[in-house]
Chain A
Amino acid sequence: QKEVEQNSGPLSVPEGAIASLNCTYSDRGSQSFFWYRQYSGKSPELIMFIYSNGDKEDGRFTAQLNKASQYVSLLIRDSQPSDSATYLCAVNSAGGSYIPTFGRGTSLIVHP
């Protein structure tokens, strides 16, 4: 069974700090990896995707992928209170229908 694991948190960081969110996955055949943000009572929205080992940067967000260790992380620099949300890691595996498997999400709280 394909699993995606995340620490549920909450992760609490002060405004301006770097927030580091981690995700591990069980299927070595996984090809692509997504980070979604979900505000309370709202729908998930895509922040970033990554499919090559290494780092991918987009503004204040950096996704890091290490396929050998089967983990993917999301760094948020200069965290703002508006970043407070649940961050969902999603993984697409090779073969089959490429249906994203989601982790339980990590709750992030950025306090002023």
Chain B
Amino acid sequence: NAGVMQNPRHLVRRRGQEARLRCSPMKGHSHVYWYRQLPEEGLKFMVYLQKENIIDESGMPKERFSAEFPKEGPSILRIQQVVRGDSAAYFCASSLQRDPNTGELFFGEGSRLTVL
């Protein structure tokens, strides 16, 4: 049973380019979360999605960032016109249940974005 799969693991972009990060949740999981982690900092929530729906995007910048989780295929986090401050590790996590007491998050290995 494969875990949460993220790709690419490493991505280098120049300022102004677009970055697309993909996440395939664990089999059977329908809840996907995206977090951003800067060096020496904790995980900052960005967006929570279920299939074809954005449930909560309160942590995502209003401009340049978007996320989707289509009926078929992986969840995608898209960053347009990247800036150096976007350089970070982006982690995707999935869960089976929404129950707050048992909804363990399973994390992917992360996508490390470097903006030159």
Residues of A near any B CB (own CB < 8 A): 4, 6, 8, 31-32, 34, 42-46, 49, 51, 88, 90, 92-94, 96-105
Contact = CB atoms under 8 A, between A and B. Distances in A.
Given A43-B108, A49-B101, 17 more contacts: A43-B109, A43-B110, A45-B107, A46-B105, A49-B102, A49-B104, A51-B101, A88-B43, A92-B103, A97-B55, A98-B99, A99-B45, A99-B48, A100-B45, A101-B45, A102-B45, A104-B40
Most chain B beta carbons < 10 A, residue from A6, A43, A104: A43
Most chain B beta carbons < 10 A, residue from A6, A44, A92, A103: A44
18 contacts: A4-B42, A6-B42, A31-B100, A32-B101, A43-B107, A44-B43, A44-B107, A45-B107, A49-B102, A90-B105, A92-B100, A92-B103, A97-B48, A98-B100, A99-B48, A99-B56, A102-B44, A104-B42
B69 interface: no
Given A31-B100, A43-B91, A104-B42, A97 B109 contact: no
Contacts of B99: 98
Contacts of B55: 97
Most chain A beta carbons < 10 A, residue from B41, B91, B100, B105: B100
Contacts of B104: 34, 46, 49
Interface of B: 33, 35, 40-45, 48, 55-56, 91, 98-110
A94 B26 CA distance: 25
A44 B107 CA distance: 6
A102 B42 contact: yes
B55 to A, nearest CB: 5
A108 B89 CA distance: 21
A57 B15 CA distance: 49
Contacts of B56: 96-97, 99
